[in-house]
Structure 1
Amino acid sequence: MSKHERWSTLLELLAGAGRIDVDDAAAALAVSPATVRRDLDELAGQQMLVRTRGGAVAHGVSYELPLRYKSSRHASEKQRIATAVAGMLADGDVVGLNGGTTTTEVARALALRAGGTCDGRGRRDAAESSAPVFTVVTNALNIASELAVRPRVKLVVTGGVARPQTYELVGPLTAGVLDQVVLDVAVLGVDGVDPRLGLMTHHEDEAGVSRLLAERARRVIVVTDASKMGRRAFARICGLDRVDVLVTDTGLPSATTARLTEAGIEVHTV
């Protein structure tokens, strides 16, 4: 297991329990306690956690992993979800994407479907049509950087203040842009789906942006791996009544699928 994989696993264990013990973590990672101690010391040096005698604790109750450490979790499931979502969209659609690892995969799937790249000096493939296949509106800087070189994707980036944990732009400038656009589809990544409270995320500013995306869209598609179903996070985005489609992996329990279907949500498992 590489250092990056160890760190991702340690942070995931910390996110789930709020604290970790060196010996327990060593057993979970199948490495020596000395290796875990070094990893925890390095993560503490990056202010990712707080070291304690014999382990570490999270900085706060609602613990949020930075995007760079979440990208390897459930990677194959997210790629299947993204491919399925890309197939649900029509040419010409205006698509809103919030930030997150699953929506990043959706952006990549849309780019592949649209086809074409620039050569680094802004020149397009001569065989390409000038008309964009999709218009993408996003507040995520990492998504914007990947789509900016796709000439057949019209890219609209909101303004705002950047959050380093998720690369998302938030705040009044973001809301100002979203108030002026109309979306065919909003594709939302979330940190939790609670059957009573609905869609949730860790940060209140990001919840506000995702809520605006949902309000401006004719259709809302939620993309999440099954591990987030039944989870709660700090900030509520919207109720399940605002969701049209949920795309997730086959780990979703059949009873949960039935409840969502009864609530009027179209559920796709891939």
Structure 2
Amino acid sequence: MFAEERQRLVAERVAEIGRVSVTELAERFSVTTETVRRDLATLETAGVLRRVHGGAVPAERASTAEPSLLERQVQNLLEKRAMAEAAAALVVSSRAGSVLLDAGSSTEALAERLMGSRPDGKELVVVTNALPIADKLATDASLSVQLLGGRIRPLTRAAVGPATVDAVERLRPDLVFMGANGIHATFGLSTPDVEEASVKAAFVRCARRVVVLADHSKFGVETLVQFARLDQLDVIVTDRAPRGEMADALAEAGVEVVEAGI
């Protein structure tokens, strides 16, 4: 098992039961206690947990902080898997030959679902700016994986910057699947980082069809930088359809809402 996958499982365990011990984790993953301590140190640096004597507990995170990829990977797992199933069905039904995957935990769940999913035997071209997604998909011979270049942002492990935007603007994929930190009725889609916002905006401009993966916690939220208006979207895949002003705004913008069953 790779360290990244083990750390993800450790984070899930902490989130599930609230406190874990070094000894328990060493036995569970058949590794040394020193390996566990290194994993806990990595997760503490990422803000996922807080080390205590003999183990770790969940970290307290300020509401204004941008969550790391590791944090997002262990949040709303069932919802993300359901959304990934619904999103993968869109790839099949649209007969897409190429897809563009944004960086993020929801799109990474979709990437896992796309592996080995081409019953017609035709190759699917997958373009992404996310290192974890490219690494995950690179072993699947049914997929042609293309990784966009640029500066790697440590918090999200995504390529960002002018080089990334330039590369995206030369593409015209059938579908783009995106995440967002916030989706608001009037402010649209947003993210806390300026460079990530620039890349996401380029994704929206280049694709024939724009699909957003967002669980219900993202609705009504505004973060620092807007990267898309609602009327630039085609589909939102979510675990729980919004109501009230948010629902009205999506309907007015002509956005289809796909509610994934859990």
Give the TM-score band, short-chain normalised.
0.7 to 0.9
Q: Normalised by the size of structure 1, how large is the TM-score?
A: 0.72
1:215-234 per-residue CA deviation (whole Å, 9 max, x = no partner) reads: 00111111100011001111
Answering whether residue 228 of structure 2 is matched by residue 262 of structure 1, we say no
Q: CA RMSD in A?
A: 3.0
What is aligned with 1:99?
103
Deviations along 1:184-209, one digit per CA (max 9) or x if unpaired, are 11111111101111011121111111
In the alignment, the residues of structure 1 paired with residue 243 and residue 136 of structure 2 have an alpha-carbon distance, to the nearest angstrom, of 34
Q: 1:250 to 1:66 in 2, by over 3 A?
A: same
Q: Does 1:86 align with 2:88?
A: yes
Q: What's 2:181 paired with?
A: 191
Matches within 5 A, 1:215-234: 215-234=205-224
CA contact (8 A) 1:99 1:189 kept: yes
CA offsets, 1:7-54, max 9 Å, x none?
A: 659xxxxxxxxxxxxxxxxxxx699xxxxxxxxxx79973749x9xxx
Q: What percent identity do the matched residue pairs reach?
A: 31
Amino acid at match of 1:113: S
Aligned to 1:161, which of 151, 165, 183?
151
Residues 92, 74 of structure 1: CA spacing in aligned structure 2 closer, same or farther, 3 A cutoff?
same
Comparing 139-148 and 253-262, the one that deviates more: 253-262
Aligned length in residues: 222
Matches within 5 A, 1:102-141: 102-114=106-118, 129=121, 131-132=122-123, 134-141=124-131
- Aligned mates of 1:218, 1:177 — CA distance in 2: 16
Structure 2's unaligned 5+ residue stretches are: 1-8, 21-40, 51-58
Deviation, 1:257, is: 2.9
The question of 1:248 aligning with 2:238 is answered: yes
Which structure has the bigger radius of gyration?
1
* Closer, same or farther: CA 250–257 of 1 in aligned 2, 3 Å: same
Q: Summarize deviations over 1:80-134 as a string: whole Å, max 9, x none.
A: 111111111233421111101001111111224137xxxxxxxxxxxx95x41x2
**Aligned equivalents of 1:201 and 1:87: distance in 2?**
27
Alignment-derived partner of residue 11 in structure 2? 4
Q: Tell me which residue corresponds to 2:171.
A: 181
Instruction: State whether residues 62 and 234 of structure 1, in contact with CA within 8 Å, keep that contact through their aligned partners in structure 2.
Output: no
CA distance, structure 2, for counterparts of residue 176 and residue 243 of structure 1: 21
Secondary structure of the structure 2 residue equivalent to 1:154: strand
Q: Identify unmatched segments of 5+ residues in structure 1.
A: 10-28, 32-41, 116-127
Question: Which amino acid is 1:226 matched to?
Answer: H
